[in-house]
Structure 1
Amino acid sequence: MQQVPLVAANVATVFMESFLYGIFFVLSVSSIYLLVHRQRQLLQPTLPHLATASVVFMHLCKTPMFLGAIALSVTITAHWILTCIRTFQAFVYFEGGTDPIAFYGNLKQLTEVVKTGFLMASLIIGDTMVIYRLWVVWNRRTAIVIFPLCTLAGLTVCGIGITYQFTQYYPGENVFVSQAGRWITSDCVFTLCTNVYSTAMIGYRVWTSRHVKLYSGTNLVNVLTTFIESAALYTAWTTFFFISYQANSNLQFTAVDTWSELSGISFMLINVRVGLGWAQTGSRIQYDSHAGSNRTTNRTDESSGGSYQMRPLAVKITSVVDHDDDLKAKCAESDGGSFIPSSQ
């Protein structure tokens, strides 16, 4: 297979990363706006005079998903800016723009090292949010998240190791056989394990829950699709990077530089769908074994006051409760012979 020229791969990266960053930026702004709007709606009925921008922001700052969205926006934006800066350095400033291949071939450049650090930070934040979702969906069971927490720790160590190894890189060294290669391979394995495991466990929890079994339908499909599509997107791109790196192809430079944007897009896709109400926690029927009747409860997130974190499940249900004749008779007797059913 003919090798892709190094400069061509990096120029293509600028276009692809800018395109993907545009998608991420739209999703990120939409996600934050929808979350703020949702939080304001929840505060207005109880605290109408306090539902100001500052109060809403203070409430949102207590929610991990909001903080994760902000952190990802910062790291991915910084990564994209550094990619643009490196383009100017290669074709304008470094040796008067006459030797871009030497610039791109030197991974010890400060901008490359810092950009790699932001990439690793983006992957770590994205995997942390995936694990947090898993923890919430499984009703905060610690045993469920032990394995992904171990892989997250491995990813963090590998991220630090990769960034450090780039500072020790010398011009002319082959990146595919350098000391950083082992860190890069381990990094891919750890993040794949985290995302595949977490997505599978979330899907299993949603599908096998007794409440979902009672009220499964189109909304259940939407819930599962939300997670599976996002995980498939991230997993496919991670696999593409892993294969291109193992094949010693310069395409890995394009894959790795767009990796953070794909991580952010997969995260924001879920947030936007939640904000639009596609996967919100809605009214849910619970069975009371002592009273022998059905009752409807509204589940919202305790920490944020919203349904943004989807606990325990993201299923919206409309229920109708039928009262038997004995109950009607008792109500009629107590009301003086007239029975007026309550609206559902």
Structure 2
Amino acid sequence: MSDKPPAWASAPEVHPGATAQMKLAALCVQSVLLGVFVALVLAMFYLFTRRSTAGPSTGKIPKAERLLLSALVILLVMNTGHWICTVVRAFEAFVFWLDGQHPAAYYGWMTGTIRVAQAAFHSGTVVAADMMVITRLYVIWDYRRSVAVAPGVLSLVALLVSAIGTTYAYGAYNADSPSTLVSLQHWRIAHSVLTIWYGMLVP
């Protein structure tokens, strides 16, 4: 995969200017939401640690709560990685790429190492969140494996396959090869449908 943009990407008329404006607005919203998420994670750590030390136990955090905190750390890493990639792409679009003259064309160019990493972090966030849901579902339903495995784990496997396929499709995308764009769109649709369906299936 090459980070060199295709020749058509330098044409300002290829993509509307609103695309870059929406990406910039999305970065602002994502930054605020990430700050809220970080504050919630820190609050969870504080509350769990305080409760464990105040209780009559040995001062250790229970296993179930340790798993929850570990999952929150994984989500924090994934979300932060995605946000960093978004910030890097914003600097490339508005400052470095073609001297920042055509940010909309840059965002229309869907390849590059940073874009692949961004897709990987996004997919990792979805998969990690669904794994948390399955774990909580398993506990709520009194550790009944049938509830967690079918349909929870089976749906998660399908989601994981679509996440890997989407990330690979971003890496294999070539603006000069229409078939790679078709493949990318198919993987993105599959990943989106499975994400929505999984959210409806495991409330």
Same topology, TM > 0.5: yes
Between the aligned residues of both structures, percent identity stands at 26
Q: Which of 20, 24, 27 lines up with 1:14 in the alignment?
A: 27
1:40 equivalent in structure 2:
53
Q: Contact 1:155/1:187 (CA < 8 Å) preserved in 2? A: yes
Q: Contact 2:18/2:104 (CA < 8 Å) preserved in 1? A: no
Pairwise CA distance, 1:156: 0.4
1:5 equivalent in structure 2:
18
> 1: CA distance between counterparts of 2:42 and 2:182?
39
> 2: CA distance between counterparts of 1:18 and 1:64?
26
1:166 equivalent in structure 2:
170
Q: Which of 60, 84, 87 lines up with 2:87 in the alignment?
A: 84
Q: Which structure 1 residue ranges, 4+ long, deviate > 3 Å from structure 2?
A: 59-62, 171-175
Does residue 121 (structure 1) correspond to residue 124 (structure 2)? The answer is: yes
SS class of match (1:178): helix
Counterparts of residues 275-294 of structure 1 (less than 5 Å):
none
In structure 1, runs of 5+ residues without a counterpart are 200-344
1:104 equivalent in structure 2:
107
> 2: CA distance between counterparts of 1:171 and 1:30?
45
SS class of match (1:107): coil
> 1: CA distance between counterparts of 2:127 and 2:101?
37
Q: Which of 144, 148, 158 lines up with 1:154 in the alignment?
A: 158
Pairwise CA distance, 1:143: 0.8
Q: Which of 182, 191, 195 lines up with 1:191 in the alignment?
A: 195
Q: 1:139 to 1:119 in 2, by over 3 A?
A: same
Deviates more, 1:124-133 or 1:99-108: 99-108
Q: Contact 1:60/1:66 (CA < 8 Å) preserved in 2? A: no
SS class of match (2:39): helix
Structure with the largest fraction of helix = 2
Q: Greater Rg, structure 1 or structure 2?
A: 1
CA RMSD of aligned residues (A): 2.4
Pairwise CA distance, 1:133: 0.7
Q: 1:60 to 1:168 in 2, by over 3 A?
A: same
Q: Contact 1:131/1:149 (CA < 8 Å) preserved in 2? A: yes
- Whichever residue aligns with residue 23 of structure 1, its letter is V
> 1: CA distance between counterparts of 2:176 and 2:54?
58
Q: Which of 9, 27, 48 lines up with 2:40 in the alignment?
A: 27
In structure 2, runs of 5+ residues without a counterpart are 1-15
CA offsets, 1:179-230, max 9 Å, x none? 122222221222223222222xxxxxxxxxxxxxxxxxxxxxxxxxxxxxxx
Q: Contact 1:159/1:187 (CA < 8 Å) preserved in 2? A: yes
TM-score by length of 1: 0.50
Q: Contact 1:79/1:119 (CA < 8 Å) preserved in 2? A: yes
Query: For this pair of structures, how many residues does the alignment match?
Result: 186
Pairwise CA distance, 1:4: 7.7
Q: Contact 2:48/2:65 (CA < 8 Å) preserved in 1? A: no
TM-score by length of 2: 0.82
Q: Contact 1:94/1:103 (CA < 8 Å) preserved in 2? A: yes
CA offsets, 1:12-69, max 9 Å, x none? 2111211221221222221222122222223xx343xxx4xxxx47x66983211101
